[in-house]
A = this chain, B = another copy of it.
Amino acid sequence: MTHDTNRQVHLASRPNGPPARSNFEVVEAPVPEPTNNEVLVAARYLSVDPYMRLLMQQRWPVGEVMRAGVVGEVVDSRADGFAEGDLVTGSGALQELDWAEYTLATPEELASLDPDLGPLSVHLGVLGMTGRTAYFGMLDVGEPTPGDTVVVSGAAGAVGSVAGQLARLAGGRVVGTAGSDAKVEWLTDELGFDAAVNYKTTDDVEAALADACPDGVDVYLDRVGGEITDAVASFANAGARFAICGQIAHYNEEEPVGPRLLSRIWTARIEKFTVSQFEPRFRAATRRLARLVESGDLVYRETVAEGIERSPEAFLGLFAGENVGKQLVEV
């Protein structure tokens, strides 16, 4: 369980346009020793997510270890409240610890996990940051009511796949966009989406979405931005709610294309949100999501890469749409 070295993923250089493997460096460091009030956590799963692209550009220092969502196990503790064998994650909304095999953390940086809620990996996915993003984004921001037409872009991803199912459970008619026929099939056959559009193989995405939404669009949960957002704006109903969190199509662009077609909508609420604004309600959301998973009303899929050395490629794969559901790295 304990290695001699602690492999860490460092930011080698800032991305200039799309991120590339050369922006990352896997570095071997010694495993740190906890001292007073410190806890040593061994990562079991890491989460790679599109938002990290922005932090690579703007926040994380070059030449240092980056951060990632982590679930792991306490392997050594010099702090009250945490003991060897405890299952933990980062205490922040993004569940971040070091993007590394080991993190030395203070108790304030850690949150305990309830192993009864499901296997360890789900605490990063459907019961973690992405599941909660879907939960609050759809239910609090999107507010679907029975009969509403709900469009989810990036619908086969970690957030979109959960958000679409929550909209269905709220009585919505759910239409997704995804980038492969296999994903489209998964959405309609297994997740209960009413329709799905493969935006990569459809000549006219706007026409295909309009066909799939004969009554217009009432709720749009957007993970993508760009032409799909433009299309939805063209046939959004008065009073439509756009829930925007992460615009994967924009992260690598210079030219902003936000939700620019507001002039086509009579009234609309467009909310750009982040899951952290709902932090006081995380516990309730997690419990509700866990119950839905247990009852079988909410299904999820994980795409798991093996080994921390594969995590840069797993991250890059997000932008190529290689993941179905939650992209994880098993450490």
How many Å from the CB of A263 to the closest CB on chain B?
Answer: 5
Which of these, B258, B266, B268, B273, contacts A267 with CB under 8 Å?
A: B273
Flag if B256 contacts A261 (CB, 8 Å): yes
Instruction: Annotate A261-289 by CB proximity to B: 1 below 8 A, 0 otherwise.
Output: 11111111111111001000000000000
B contact residues around A274 at 8 Å (CB): 266-267
Contacts A269-B271, A271-B269 given; indicate if A261 touches B258 (C-beta within 8 A).
Answer: yes
A260-B263 in contact (CB<8A):
no
Tell me the chain A residues, 220-264 only, with Cβ under 8 Å from chain B. 239, 244, 247, 250, 256-264
Q: Please give, as numbers and ranges, the residues of chain B lying within 8 Å of A267 by CB-CB distance.
A: 271-274, 277
Enumerate chain B residues within 8 angstroms of A273, measured Cβ to Cβ.
Answer: 267
CB of A202, distance to nearest CB on chain B (Å): 22
Closest to A230 in B: B256
Instruction: Report the contact-size class of chain A (Cβ under 8 Å from the partner).
Output: 20 to 34
Tell me which residues across on chain B come within 8 A of A264, comparing CB atoms.
Answer: 256
A258's partner among B247, B250, B263 (CB-CB below 8 A) is B263
Is the contact region of chain A dominated by helix, strand, or loop, or is it mixed?
loop
| Total copies of the chain | 2
Docked complex Cα distance between A263 and B290 (Å) = 32
A285 CA to B261 CA, complexed, in Å: 30
- Give the distance in Å from the alpha carbon of A264 to the alpha carbon of B270 in the complex: 15
Instruction: Give Cα A259 to B269, complex, Å.
Output: 12
In whole angstroms, what is the CA distance A85 to B44 when docked?
82
Cβ B256 vs Cβ A258 within 8 A: no
Contact of A271 among B261, B263, B270, B277 (CB under 8 A): B270
A239 to B278, CA, bound (A): 12
CB pair B247 A263 closer than 8 Å: yes
Which chain B residues border A250 with CB–CB below 8 Å? 263
The complex places the Cα of A75 from the Cα of B247 at a distance, in Å, of 59
A244 with B258, Cβ < 8 A, contacts A267-B272, A267-B273, A270-B271 known: no
Give the residue of B244, B261, B263 whose beta carbon is less than 8 angstroms from that of A262: B244
Q: Chain B residue with minimal CB distance to A273?
A: B267
Check A262–B262 contact: CB distance below 8 A. no
Separation of A269 and B257 alpha carbons in the complex (Å): 17
Q: A258-B258, A265-B272, A268-B271 are in contact. List 19 more A-B contacts (CB 8 A).
A: A247-B262, A247-B263, A250-B263, A256-B260, A256-B261, A257-B260, A258-B262, A259-B260, A259-B262, A262-B270, A266-B272, A267-B271, A267-B273, A267-B274, A267-B277, A269-B271, A270-B270, A270-B271, A270-B272
Q: Which residues of A contact B (CB under 8 A)?
A: 239, 244, 247, 250, 256-274, 277
Enumerate 11 A-B pairs (CB-CB under 8 Å) in ascending A order.
A239-B277, A244-B262, A256-B264, A258-B258, A259-B262, A259-B270, A260-B260, A267-B277, A268-B271, A269-B270, A269-B271
Which 4 residue pairs are nearest across A and B when measured between Cβ atoms? A258-B260, A260-B260, A270-B270, A258-B262
